[in-house]
């Protein structure tokens, strides 16, 4: 992606998302692969950071196909769904372009062109996680938001500056308005025009998969990347987390993420050979009702 300057331009994305196809395309990695890495950080937003999600249940199943066809029955608890079978294959155009992008960006074989038949094993059961306010920054036509929704997350807001893709996502999931309506047009460098993003500190977590990368491919990359991060920092509540899924190596991403202006601490882990997850945890937030304090008799 770093050699493809058009990724930094809205017109590129509008064109790419245009046409009659309603196929989806997943950059880098699907939710099924990411969830075990991401969930503990969402849970850590409301301390104590102990991961208490339920073990897999084989009973329920809900597919995005069913949502698209409006087959989500009243009383079917998406939160209890154990299996998510994503059925859409990427369009040929997206596949070709995606492969080209992947090879130019990172030479990686991990680009998940589709999460077809992805099995999501364990749905989270922590109600506080499921009601966390989570911003998906630069959602594109990824199935991440829908997969999180079928996992039971209800505090999602998915934004993209391409009105073309937002309209497509809204019609793709029209049968389930609570999912469709959380797709909104917005520029991650300044989201104050959206009611859901107006107030400082109104978001518990932000998930960015490939959007900072796209911005960094464009003109004025340092300034625009800095604007995006400053906006995410403004939106995060104390203790909240910005999760960045990227091909960017620590040597290129840490100087940006660790700028002194940001009151967050940054950690990172590799996700396979060519992907990374950076977690920026904003300082402050609820004090742990500490198991350490309890164990040591402290207060």
Is 90 a residue that touches ligand SAM (CB under 6 A)? no
* Binding range to ligand SAM, per CB under 6 A, among 45-53, 148-156, 205-213, 229-237: 205-213
Stretch that binds ligand SAM, among 62-70, 168-176, 204-212, 286-294 (CB under 6 A): 204-212
Torsion of CA 219, 144, 252, 221, to 10 degrees: 10
Helix axes 221-235, 250-257, angle to 10 degrees: 60
**153 forms part of the interface with ligand SAM (CB under 6 A):** no
- Indicate the residue among 189 and 259 with the shorter CB distance to ligand SAM: 189
Helices 163-172 and 10-17: angle between axes, nearest 10 degrees: 30
**What distance separates the 2 farthest-apart alpha carbons in the chain?**
63
Size of the site for ligand SAM (CB under 6 A): 20
98 binds ligand SAM (CB under 6 A): no
User: Of 53, 209, 253, 282, which one interacts with ligand SAM (CB under 6 A)?
Assistant: 209
Region of residue 19 (left: phi > 0; alpha: psi -120 to 50; beta: else): left
161 to 190: interface string for ligand SAM, x by CB under 6 A: xx--x---------------------xxx-
> Number of C-alpha atoms within 13 angstroms, CB side, residue 110?
18
Binding part of the chain for ligand SAM, among 83-91, 121-129, 138-146, 265-273 by CB under 6 A, reads: 138-146
If one asks whether residue 234 binds ligand SAM (CB under 6 A), the answer comes out as: no
Which residue number, 72 or 136, has a Cβ lying nearer to ligand SAM?
136
Q: Which stretch binds ligand SAM (CB under 6 A): 72-80, 208-216, 229-237, 290-298?
A: 208-216
| Structure tokens given for 78 | 């998406």
- Is the Cβ of residue 25 or residue 264 nearer to ligand SAM in the bound state? 25
Q: List phi, psi (to 5°) of 191.
A: -105, 15
Q: How are beta strands 236-246 and 275-282 bridged, if at all? A: antiparallel
Whether the CB-CB separation of 236 and 200 falls below 8 Å is answered with no
Asked if 109 and 130 touch (Cβ cutoff 8 Å), the reply is: no
* Residue 231 touches ligand SAM, criterion: CB under 6 A: no
Task: Give me the helices (H) in 139-272, please.
Answer: 144-150, 163-172, 177-180, 211-216, 221-235, 250-257
Q: Are 170 and 181 in contact (CB under 8 A)?
A: yes
Pick from 79, 215, 232, 244: which binds ligand SAM (CB under 6 A)? 215
Q: Which is nearer to ligand SAM, 84 or 214 (CB)?
A: 214
Stretch that binds ligand SAM, among 36-44, 66-74, 210-218, 257-265 (CB under 6 A): 210-218
Residues that bind ligand SAM (CB under 6 A): 13, 26-27, 138-140, 142, 144, 160-162, 165, 187-189, 209-211, 214-215
């Amino acid at each position: 992606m770093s050699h493809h300057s058009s990724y930094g331009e809205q017109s590129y994305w509008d064109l790419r998302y245009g046409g009659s196809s309603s196929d989806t395309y997943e950059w880098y990695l699907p939710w099924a692969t990411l969830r075990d890495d991401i969930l503990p950080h969402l849970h850590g937003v409301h301390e104590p950071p102990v991961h208490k999600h339920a073990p897999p249940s084989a009973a329920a199943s809900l597919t995005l196909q069913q949502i698209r066809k409006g087959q989500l029955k009243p009383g079917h608890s998406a939160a209890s769904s154990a299996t998510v079978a994503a059925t859409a294959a990427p369009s040929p155009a997206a596949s070709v372009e995606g492969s080209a992008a992947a090879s130019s960006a990172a030479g990686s074989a991990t680009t998940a062109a589709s999460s077809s038949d992805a099995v999501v094993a364990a749905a989270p059961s922590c109600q506080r996680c499921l009601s966390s306010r989570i911003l998906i920054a630069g959602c594109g036509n990824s199935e991440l938001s829908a997969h999180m929704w079928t996992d039971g997350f209800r505090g999602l807001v998915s934004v993209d500056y391409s009105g073309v893709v937002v309209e497509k996502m809204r019609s793709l999931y029209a049968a389930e308005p609570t999912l469709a309506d959380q797709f909104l047009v917005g520029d991650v460098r300044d989201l104050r025009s959206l009611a859901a993003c107006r107030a400082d500190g109104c978001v518990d977590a932000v998930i960015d998969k490939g959007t900072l990368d796209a911005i960094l491919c464009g003109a004025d990359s340092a300034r625009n990347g800095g604007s995006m991060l400053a906006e995410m920092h403004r939106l995060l509540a104390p203790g909240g987390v910005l999760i960045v899924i990227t091909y960017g190596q620590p040597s290129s991403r840490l100087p940006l993420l660790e700028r002194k202006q940001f009151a967050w601490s940054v950690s990172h882990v590799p996700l396979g050979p060519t992907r990374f997850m950076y977690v920026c945890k904003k300082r402050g937030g609820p004090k742990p009702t500490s198991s350490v304090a309890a164990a040591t008799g402290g207060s």
